[in-house]
Amino acid sequence: MLTRTSCRINAGHYTALVKTSGKWWLANDHKVREMSEEEVAKRRDGYLFFLRRK
């Protein structure tokens, strides 16, 4: 899931939430940290979603 933070149409900062091996990770520039399922579920700033069918 990509997220975007900005009020302006021509600017913004993007982050990514990635689930791999059953864990969620937040990638924000050069910082990456693990997130809990609860933290991810509370997010309401999803901008673009990539889904994979199993």
For 24-44, what is each residue's pLDDT tens digit?
A: 999 988 899 999 999 988 887
pTM above 0.85, yes or no: no
How far apart are alpha carbons 10 and 22 in whole angstroms?
A: 35
The more confident residue out of 50 and 36 is: 36
Contact by Cβ (8 Å): 47, 2: yes
Cα gap 32→53, rounded to integer Å: 25
pLDDT at 9 over 70: no
Cα–Cα dist 33/35, whole Å: 6
Residue 2: CB partners within 8 Å, gap ≥ 6?
Answer: 14, 15, 16, 17, 46, 47, 48, 49
